[in-house]
Structure 1
Amino acid sequence: MQQRLHKVNKIYALQLATIFVGFIIFGFSENIKGPAIPRIQFDFMLNESQLGTLLSLNALGYLLACSFTGFLTRLWGIKVVTVAAFALMILSGGLIYVSHSYPMFSSSYFLMYIGNGMLEIALAILGARIFVRNTGTMMNLSHGFYGLSSTVAPLIATGLMSVSVFGHMLDWRGMYFVVLSMSIVPIIFALSAKFPGDDLPQEERTPLKTLMRDPVLWFMVLILTFGVVSELAVGGWLVNFLEKAYAWDTVSASSMLSAFFLCFALARLLLGPATDRMGFTLSLILFSGFSAVCTFAAILGGEGLAFLFAASGIGIAMIYPTVMAFIAKRYPNGSDTAITFTVTMMGLGSVIGNYLIGIITEVVKNLYGSGTETGLRYGLQAGYGFIGLCAAVCAGFSFVLYRFLKRRKELI
C-alpha cells in the first residue's frame, strides 16, 4: 500500500510539474513581446495599424491551433499533444533567430502562436482532468505560475536583448531563441508523466452539439473573449503606450508591465480560494469590473495614476482560470470539448480585438494630427481605452449570466 501511494504521489508530482512549468514557459512566450515590439516595429518600419495587424495574424495562428488541438488530443492523447506544443515553440524560436526579412519573421512568429494555442488547450485540458477538488483554487494556482513568469518576462526580455555572446548582441531575435528553448524542461516532465482521461469511452463524452445548445456555454465564450482580449492586449500595448505617450524609457515602461504581471500573479496565487467561496459567476463580475475601473482611471488620470495600469492586473487575472473552473464543474464529461470550443471562439475575438486596438489608435491619431505629440497621445489613449472597455463588457455579460443561472438555481 505504501509503495502504491508513493507511486501515485510521484505521478501527481510529475503532472503538477508539467502544468506549473508549462504555464511558466507559456507566460514567458506570451509576454516577452512587450519590450521587443518597439524594436520589431523599428526594424521592419511598421506603423501602429500594421503592428495591430501583425498581432491579429498571430492571434489567428493561435485560433487555428485551438480549433484542431482538441481533435489531436482525442487522436494522439494529451501527452503527445503537450510535448508537440513545446517542441513547436522551440522550433519557432530558432526560426525567429535566423529571420531577417519581414515575411520570414511573421511566418516564424505565426508558428510560435500555433504552439501557444496548442499549449493553451493542452494545459487547460490537463487542469480540468487533474483538479477535481477545489477546482477554482487549483486552476487559479496553476495559472498563477503564468502570472509569475509574466511578471519577470519583460525585465528578462529587456536584459537579454542587451547581452552579448561571443561579441554578438542577442537583440530581440536572440532573446526569443533563448527563452523559447527553455521549453525543453516541461518536455522532460511530460515524457516522464502519465495523464488521465485519454481512456474515457467515446459514448461517455458529451458531444459538441449538446454543449452548443446550452446558452451558458455561449455566455462563457463572450465572457472569456472580452476578458482575454483585455488581458493579452496589456502585454502587447502597455510598454508601447508608456514609451510614446509619456516618454518613459524602456526600463521604466517594462517595469510597469512587470508590476502589472506581479499583481496578476499574486491575485491568482492568493485569491483562488475566494472564487470557490463566492461562486465562479459572482467572482467574474467583481474582478472584471475592478479591472475596467482601474484601466479607465489610469487613462483619465494621466501619468500620475499610471500605477493603476498595474493594479488592473488584480482583476483581469481571475477571468481565464475561473472560466476554466466553471467549465470543468459544469461539463465533467465534456470538459475537453467545451474548453476547445470556448477557447477557439475566444481566439477569434482576440484576432478582432488586437486589430481594433491598432485601428482605433491610428484613426484617433490621424484625427488629432498624425505628426503631432497630441495626436499620438490621444490615439494611444483611445486604443488603450478599448482594453478597459473589453473588461467592462466582460463584467456586463457576467452579470447577465449570474441572473440567468440564479433564476434556474444553477449557480456554481
Structure 2
Amino acid sequence: MEWKQHFDTPKKVAALIIMFFVMFTLGAINYSKGVILPRAQEDLGFGYNDIGIMMGIYYTGFFLSSLFGGYISDKRGIRFMMAGGTIIMIIGLTGTGFSNNFAIFALFYAIVGIGLGTMTIGSNAIVPPIFPQKQGLMFNVMMGVYGIGAFIAPLLLNYLFGVAVSWRTIYIVLGVTLILFAFYTLKAPMPKQTVEKEALDLKQFFGMLKNRQFVLLMLLLTLYVGAEAGFASWLPAYLEGIQLEEARSKGALYLSIFFAVFTIGRLLGGIIVDRYGEKRVIFVFASLAILTFSFAKFGPDSIAILYGVSGAFFSVIFPTAIALATSLFKNAGSALGFLYTAAGLGAMFSTWLVGYMMEFVGVRAGFNLPLFFLIGVVLCTFFIKDQVKEVKRNQEEAS
C-alpha cells in the first residue's frame, strides 16, 4: 500500500518515469563503453591511448555538467535541464554514430558526457520537491535502477554484436529514441525546484584542506573511483588484449556479473556497516576486492569469473566512505560536494591513464593500475582509522 502513494498524482508518475529512465540510461551508457569502444577502435583504427583519451573526455564532460548543472537548474528550472540535457544527448549519440575519425568521435563523446550529466542533475533535482519525506528511499531506488542498467547493457550489447548489429547503429538508434523522451520532458508535469544550492566556497575548501582527515577521504574516494572506473571501462578491452578465449562474450558477461553483485552489495551494505562500522568495512572490502582482482588477473583463465565476483567487494566502499564523511564533519554538505568533485576527477584521469599505460607499457602491466588504486584505498583507510581514534579520544578527554 505504501508504494501506491508514490503514484497518486500525475507529477509523481512523471517524476518516477523520468528518474528511472535517466538512471537506467546512465548506468547503461557508463558501463557499456568498455564493450563498445573496442569495436569503434577496430573500425576507426585508434589505439588504447586514444580510447583512454576519449573516456577521459567523456568523464570531463559529465564532470563539468554536474559541477555547474545545479546552478543552472536553480536558475532555469528542472524542465530546462531535462529537455536540454536530452537534446544534447541526442546530438552526442547520433554524432558519435556517424563519426569517421578520432577527433569527431572524441568531440561527440564529450557531448554525450555533458548531456548525460545534465540529465542526471535534472532527475536528481526532482526528488526533493516530489518526495520530500522519502528522499533517502528514492535515491537508493534510483541507484538500484542504475545498477540494473549497468547489468543489462553489456549482455544486450553482446547479443546485438553477435547478430551483426554495429556499434554505429546502436548509438544512432538510441539517439533517435531519445527524441521521444525529449518530447515527454517538454509535456510532462514538472515540480518547481524548492531547494537552493549554496555557491562554491573556495575559502571553505582551502580551510578544509588543512584537515588531514578530509584530505585522506578525498584521496581515498579519488583512488576508489579511479579503480572502479578503470576496471569497468577497460576489462573487455584487456581480455581481448591478452587474447582470452571468447574474450568479447566473456568480457560482457563478467561486467554484467560485476554489476549484478555490485547492486546487491549496495542494497545490503548498510546492514554490514551498521554492524561493523565504516572504517573496518572499507578496509575489509577493499582488501577482498584486491584479492579477487589479483586471483582473476594472475591466476588461471578458469577462475577469470572472479573479475565479476569482485563487484560484491567494490560495492560498499564508495557509499561507506561518504557515510564516514558525514559522520566526521559538522559542515557535511560542503564536505560532500568537494568529495564528489574528487571522485569525478578520479574517473576522469584513471580511465585515460589506464589506456595510456596499456598502450605504452603493455596491456597486462597497464591493467594493474586499478589494483594499485585499491591498494592505495587500503593504505588511506589505515591512516583514517588511526586518526578517527585520536579524534574520539580527544573528544572524550574534552568532555
Report the TM-score range of the alignment, normalised by the length of the smaller protein.
Answer: 0.7 to 0.9
Q: Deviations over 1:328-381 (max 9, x none)?
A: 67779773x5554333333333332123212322333xxxxxxxxxxxxxx322
Greater mean alpha carbon deviation, residues 338-347 or residues 228-237: 338-347
For the residues of structure 2 that align with 1:228 and 1:395, how far apart are their CA atoms?
Answer: 13
Instruction: Provide TM-score, normalisation by structure 1.
Output: 0.78
- The reply to whether residue 289 of structure 1 matches residue 283 of structure 2 is no
Q: Deviations over 1:234-267 (max 9, x none)?
A: 3321111222312324223211221112221221
Residue 361 (structure 1) aligns with: 358
Superposition RMSD on alpha carbons, in Å?
3.6
Which sections of structure 2, spanning at least 5 residues, go unmatched? none
For the residues of structure 1 that align with 2:386 and 2:133, how far apart are their CA atoms?
Answer: 26
Residue 403 (structure 1) aligns with: 386
Counterpart code for 2:344: G
SS at match of 2:310: helix
Q: Deviations over 1:43-66 (max 9, x none)?
A: 121122222222223233233323
Counterpart code for 1:269: L
Equivalences for residues 218-237 of structure 1 within 5 A: 218-237=215-234
How far residue 387 of structure 1 moved from its aligned partner, in angstroms, is 0.9
- The reply to whether residue 384 of structure 1 matches residue 367 of structure 2 is yes
Give the percent of matched residue pairs that are identical in Structure 1 and Structure 2.
23
Distance of aligned partners of 1:55 and 1:23 in 2 relative to their CA distance in 1, 3 Å threshold: same
Residue 240 (structure 1) aligns with: 237
Residue 108 (structure 1) aligns with: 108
Contact 2:282 2:320 in 1 (8 A): yes
Instruction: Provide TM-score, normalisation by structure 2.
Output: 0.80
Distance of aligned partners of 1:299 and 1:199 in 2 relative to their CA distance in 1, 3 Å threshold: closer
For the residues of structure 1 that align with 2:185 and 2:317, how far apart are their CA atoms?
Answer: 28
Distance of aligned partners of 1:343 and 1:79 in 2 relative to their CA distance in 1, 3 Å threshold: farther
Greater mean alpha carbon deviation, residues 218-227 or residues 120-129: 120-129
Distance of aligned partners of 1:284 and 1:194 in 2 relative to their CA distance in 1, 3 Å threshold: farther
For the residues of structure 2 that align with 1:403 and 1:303, how far apart are their CA atoms?
Answer: 39
For the residues of structure 1 that align with 2:328 and 2:132, how far apart are their CA atoms?
Answer: 14
Contact 2:89 2:116 in 1 (8 A): yes
SS at match of 1:192: coil
Residue 173 (structure 1) aligns with: 168
SS at match of 2:300: helix
How far residue 126 of structure 1 moved from its aligned partner, in angstroms, is 6.3
For the residues of structure 2 that align with 1:287 and 1:189, how far apart are their CA atoms?
Answer: 40
Residue 342 (structure 2) aligns with: 345
Aligned length: 383
SS at match of 1:213: helix
Greater mean alpha carbon deviation, residues 354-363 or residues 181-190: 181-190
Residue 81 (structure 1) aligns with: 81
Residue 376 (structure 1) aligns with: none
- The reply to whether residue 96 of structure 1 matches residue 93 of structure 2 is no
How far residue 104 of structure 1 moved from its aligned partner, in angstroms, is 1.8
Residue 367 (structure 1) aligns with: none
Contact 2:56 2:352 in 1 (8 A): yes
Counterpart code for 2:246: W
Distance of aligned partners of 1:354 and 1:80 in 2 relative to their CA distance in 1, 3 Å threshold: same
How far residue 174 of structure 1 moved from its aligned partner, in angstroms, is 1.6
Distance of aligned partners of 1:222 and 1:132 in 2 relative to their CA distance in 1, 3 Å threshold: farther
Equivalences for residues 5-404 of structure 1 within 5 A: 10=9, 15=15, 17-77=17-77, 80-119=80-119, 121=121, 135=136, 139-161=139-161, 170-179=165-174, 185=181, 188=184, 191-194=188-191, 197-199=194-196, 207-214=201-208, 215=211, 216-245=213-242, 246-325=244-323, 335=333, 338-364=335-361, 379-404=362-387
For the residues of structure 2 that align with 1:18 and 1:329, how far apart are their CA atoms?
Answer: 32
How far residue 394 of structure 1 moved from its aligned partner, in angstroms, is 1.9
Distance of aligned partners of 1:106 and 1:206 in 2 relative to their CA distance in 1, 3 Å threshold: closer
Contact 2:297 2:304 in 1 (8 A): yes
How far residue 406 of structure 1 moved from its aligned partner, in angstroms, is 3.6
Distance of aligned partners of 1:394 and 1:39 in 2 relative to their CA distance in 1, 3 Å threshold: same
Greater mean alpha carbon deviation, residues 248-257 or residues 180-189: 180-189
Residue 375 (structure 1) aligns with: none
For the residues of structure 1 that align with 2:79 and 2:323, how far apart are their CA atoms?
Answer: 21
For the residues of structure 2 that align with 1:206 and 1:362, how far apart are their CA atoms?
Answer: 38
For the residues of structure 2 that align with 1:125 and 1:289, how far apart are their CA atoms?
Answer: 35
How far residue 105 of structure 1 moved from its aligned partner, in angstroms, is 1.6
Counterpart code for 1:385: N
Q: Deviations over 1:22-42 (max 9, x none)?
A: 221101111222221221111
For the residues of structure 1 that align with 2:119 and 2:291, how far apart are their CA atoms?
Answer: 31
For the residues of structure 2 that align with 1:398 and 1:207, how far apart are their CA atoms?
Answer: 27
Distance of aligned partners of 1:409 and 1:234 in 2 relative to their CA distance in 1, 3 Å threshold: same
Counterpart code for 2:341: T
Residue 370 (structure 1) aligns with: none
For the residues of structure 2 that align with 1:109 and 1:252, how far apart are their CA atoms?
Answer: 25
Contact 2:34 2:237 in 1 (8 A): yes
Counterpart code for 2:85: A
SS at match of 2:46: coil
Distance of aligned partners of 1:120 and 1:409 in 2 relative to their CA distance in 1, 3 Å threshold: farther
